[in-house]
Amino acid sequence: MKTVSILDLLKSGAHFGQVKSKRYPKMNKYIFGVKDGVHIIDLEKTIESLEKASEFIKKVVSKNGKILFIGTKRQAKAIVKEFAEDVKMPYVISRWLGGTFTNFENIIRLPHKMKKLEEDVANGVYDKYTKKEKLMIDREIEKLKEMVEGIRDLDAIPQAIFVVDINHEKTAVMEARERKIPIIAIADTNTNPELVDYPIPANDDSINTLKLILSVFKESIDEVKK
């Protein structure tokens, strides 16, 4: 695992939790203290949790498993997409499609449909169509891309998921729990860490913290794939 120090985490702003009034009681064991009305996260616990999550990721990747990376918050979208594409893992950065896990057989038809339309366009199937008809097909492809581009090559339920924000992605978390899919997630002080298998106590609003955590995961994945 990439070595991450408390100083690295401090520089990224990982230690800043939510205001006291938003504290979720089960996060108490990850809280170091309070400063100016804001909870301060115990970064030693963050490092311990990050190590456990990284080891789990290595196990999944070593068995050619897929991890779905989910980050639909505005500030997380681009970071999650770039990371997932770099390590060749599926991702969701648009809204979560209800039933992605609980109704997987039907949801997975959407990326299949998108790929078929793209192939037909490339093969000139629609060359004789009117300009208006071609425009409608292009719009349908773009709409499908926005929804399912990140899961275009996902043919089976993933072996695990990573979630940027437990509260923001509550539907995905609930579906994963129902299907018994292991969950790795950043756990801020206003979340229930017991909803996930590998909670990483940290600031889930910090772009730099997310980048740092994903850089650790990238090194773990690359190490297995060497």
Residue-level pLDDT, tens digit, the chain, 226 residues: 678 999 999 999 999 999 999 999 999 999 999 999 999 999 999 999 999 999 999 999 999 999 999 999 999 999 999 999 999 999 999 999 999 999 999 999 999 999 999 999 999 999 999 999 999 999 999 999 999 999 999 999 999 999 999 999 999 999 999 999 999 999 999 999 999 999 999 999 999 999 999 999 999 999 998 7
- What are the residue ranges of CATH 1.10.287 in the chain? 109-151
The pTM for the full model equals: 0.94
Residue-level pLDDT at 225: 84
70 - beta bridge partners? 92, 163
- What pLDDT shows up at residue 132? 95
Measuring CA to CA, which residue among 35, 19, 41, 4 is closest to residue 218?
4
CATH architecture of the domain with residue range 109-151: Orthogonal Bundle (1.10)
- Asked if 92 and 70 count as a contact pair (C-beta separation under 8 A), the reply is yes
Per-residue confidence (pLDDT) for residue 3, from 0 to 100: 82
- Given the candidates 2.30.42.10, 2.60.120.1600, 3.40.50.10490, 3.40.640.10, the CATH classification of the domain at 6-103+156-225 is 3.40.50.10490
Q: What is the SS3 assignment for 180? A: coil
Sheet holding 160-163, edge to edge: 91-92, 67-70, 160-163, 183-187, 198-201
Q: Specify the pLDDT at position 2.
A: 73
Question: Which residue type sits at 223?
Answer: E
List where CATH 3.40.50.10490 sits in the chain.
Answer: 6-103+156-225
